[in-house]
A and B are shown apart, each in its own frame.
Chain A
Amino acid sequence: MDTTGVAVQVMSDSISAWFWIALGEAIVILLLLTARRKSIPREFIGMDKRDMKNTGDSANMQNIVDSIAKSKELYRELSRKCHPDRFVNTNLQQVAEEIFKEVSRNRRNYQKLLSLKQIAIEKLNLKF
């Protein structure tokens, strides 16, 4: 066998070795990807992303920052002024109870508290 023949033989051996190494790596990568896919929980199967994205106006960052800055103060003011005990034995007691419940439920949502303040002004004749 001449030198050219030997070179071709060595090259084909090395290509074959690299091919098997690459194939092994591909198999390992596929196994890892499958394991990772299985490890991710699937609670949201069947839910459409677009439905979940449709969150309305409440999911804006201005409301979040306003809630961080001002909601505590507004909640205290509303819970004090709309407390049902202030309307005992009047025809506004029921309304005050409902507003107070809503205020307590939305104590960390500034936008909702503002709308409840408006309702309290209209229905309970309060002045802020």
Chain B
Amino acid sequence: MWYRLILISEWFGEMNERYKLIRDFNRESKLAFISGSVPTLLEAKITKGDSAFRHEFSKFLGGGLRIKALTGTELSRQEMEEIGAIVLANEGMVRKLIVLGWDTLEIHDSIGAFGLKWKLKNYAHTGGLLNARK
């Protein structure tokens, strides 16, 4: 009974943390765009992600983190790759995203549905820990 209650409270805590992460990104991105340090306004939002990238912490219909250009200069493919690489280079961030239920990172341009996506699990570097426990 108590275990169930703890699980439910953890679930609500995680949802809160997910939305806080999105809010933080959007706020910082907005401030950077207003101050002129970035030429493109970026927006983060939750999508359903790619079902092929799922793992055991994946949230049902909420496994994708999409960073999308809203306005300003269009993003080239190199710029999208660079933004993806910046997020994926931060191992702590990738682990946090995985634990909070995301499995796919998507970077999209403002025009059309063109975008790139990455499987987050490949960048978490948890293999060492798992192998040590086996």
**A residues near B, CB below 8 A?**
40-47, 49, 52-53, 55-56, 58-72, 108-109
Contact between A59 and B96, CB atoms less than 8 A apart: yes
Contact, CB under 8 Å: B37 / A64 = no
Shortest CB-to-CB span from B76 to chain A, Å, is 14
Name the residue in A47, A55, A65, A109 with the highest tally of chain B Cβ atoms < 10 Å from its Cβ: A65
- B95 interface residue (CB < 8 Å to A): yes
Given contacts A68-B38, A69-B37, A69-B38, contact A53 B56 (CB under 8 A): no
Flag whether B130 is at the interface (Cβ < 8 A): yes
* B95 lies within 8 A of A55 (CB): yes
A44:B93 contact, CB within 8 angstroms: no
Q: With A43-B55, A69-B37 known to touch, is A61 a contact of B95 (CB < 8 Å)?
A: no
23 contacting pairs across A/B (C-beta < 8 A): A40-B56, A41-B56, A42-B56, A44-B56, A44-B57, A44-B98, A46-B130, A47-B130, A52-B98, A55-B93, A56-B92, A58-B90, A58-B92, A59-B92, A59-B93, A64-B25, A64-B93, A68-B42, A68-B83, A71-B86, A108-B86, A108-B89, A109-B90
The reply to whether B54 and A40 form a contact with Cβ atoms under 8 Å apart is: yes
> What does DSSP make chain A's interface, helix, strand, loop or mixed?
helix
Tell me if B90 and A44 are in contact (CB < 8 A): no
Given contacts A43-B126, A53-B99, contact A61 B54 (CB under 8 A): no
* Cross-chain contact B121 with A62 (CB below 8 angstroms): no
| CB atoms of B129 and A47 under 8 A apart | yes
* CA gap between A61 and B23 in the complex, in Å: 9
Partner of B86 from A45, A46, A64 at Cβ < 8 Å: A64
For A108, the chain B residues whose CB sits under 8 A away are 85-86, 89-90
Q: Is the CB of B99 within 8 A of A49?
A: yes
B32 adjacent to chain A (CB < 8 Å): yes
Q: Give, as a whole number of angstroms, the nearest-CB distance from B92 to chain A.
A: 3
Q: Complex formed: what's the CA distance from A69 to B100 in Å?
A: 25
Cα A43 to Cα B55 with chains together (Å): 7
Which residues of A sit under 8 angstroms from B29, Cβ to Cβ? 65
Interface members, chain B 5-22 (any A CB < 8 Å):
21
* A45 to B57 Cα, complex, angstroms: 10
Chain A residues lying within 8 Å of B54, measured Cβ to Cβ, are 40-41
| Cα–Cα, bound, A83→B27 (Å) | 36
Cα of A42 to Cα of B87 in the assembled complex, Å: 24
Q: For residue B110, give the distance in angstroms from its CB to the closest CB of chain A.
A: 15
